[in-house]
Structure 1
Amino acid sequence: MTDSTYAYINPHQSFGMSDYKPSNVKSFRKRQRGGLIRGTIIGLIFRWIFCVLILGIVIAIGIIATIVLYVKPPNLAFLGVEEPNNGSTVSAINNALSINFDLQIQVDNPNTFDITFNELYAQLFWGATNISIGYGRVENIDIRSENTTNFRYPFHIVYKASYDPNRQVLGGLLDSCGLTDPNSKPPIDIQYDLDIDVKALSVNIKQTISNSMSVTCPGFSESMLQDAVGDTISVDVLVDELTRNQR
């Protein structure tokens, strides 16, 4: 009578033990040897391309993480406003009044490597309003490592009557430029959005800074302003109205 403890005559075969014979293990190792180089040439090429891409992504992430964690942003300081080196301070062209300034900027780079401002682009707004009154732009400014660099940043206040239907900006310019009261010239308050595009360690970083500044009007005549605004507005009448309101 057969012992009921075993359901099979050869229990080793029932549990697949024959697969683990030395000859079979040797055959398995032979089949698996050189996993990356087995198969067709096309498959081999795609496998190596995939590995290179993964390695490149890991390196790129490491570089970006290093820049984000360890790169210190440069410190920007505004030293004052000066008349432009090139061109006139005030001009009236194509029904627009253009007031041109050069802003003195100082940049302190605390990092141990050079950085480059690819572009600094500013949009100017009148006071706390959303009325656009000009722009500024400069490109390709190199800042040495652990050093301070000064440069001029040209910006332009451009007045167009079509952008100022309520004459809010025009009235403010007349006040700030002393056309309503020569003894009182309040500064021109400007809000700006400065878009910074800087390159550090071959990586471009973009940032936007919003701030404000005040500049002194360089002065211009009523006739120049009248040429800028055209026939839609009488500057003489507006000056009289503002003068009466201030009394």
Structure 2
Amino acid sequence: MLLGILSCVVSPIAAQTTLAGTSWQLVRFQGGDDTVLTPPDRSAYTLTFDATGNGVAVRIDCNRGRGTWTSAGDGRIEFGALALTRALCPAGSLHDQIVKQFGSIRSYVLRDGRLFLSLMADGGMYEFEPLGSSSPAFRTPVAVRGPLTWTCTSGAATAGTGEPLRFTHYATDPALILLEYRGTTKAAFQVRSASGARYEGDDVQFWEARGEASLDWNGTRTTCRPS
């Protein structure tokens, strides 16, 4: 059984320096439709990058495997063919979904010591935490601005009311923004805009210009300003 190509936005040297010798366990998967799946045992879903060389070991529930990874520049990282054992995992396992979706992962960010792997076409995001207490501190391999906190209000809202929006910019190519709003985190990528900075993701659009922003979240539009 093979896992496909995993892409992320980071240079070859930064990727090797940041990921070498690190181990991760799955915290949750958040789909583009806001579906959240959590493993009953986080340590049953792991990624471990070799301290030297380009090897990677994985555990996906009842199966284990090894493969290789390389970074060819231009913000890419690729995983080679991954050989897995072929045990039949129990009902409710995330095994089949992860094996199917790993080839669609296109970017990652490191934030607050956690690893976020995002699927293409805003298909969702896997969130990992360090495996074990001996995991080293991690450095973000791209420039970061934030997190920033703004307040979002609808047209009917009165002054002084609103809901908090927390967001962080990552200087990837294209630029990535993580938005935290109403208890949910969404990823959006920068798109062409006649003015300001515009980001689009699955059921989310954030358009920042002249000190304020228009936020479209699951079809509901609000105006956001610095708190």
The interval holding the TM-score normalised by the smaller chain is under 0.3
Structure holding more helix per residue: 1
TM-score normalised according to structure 1 size = 0.21
Structure holding more strand per residue: 2
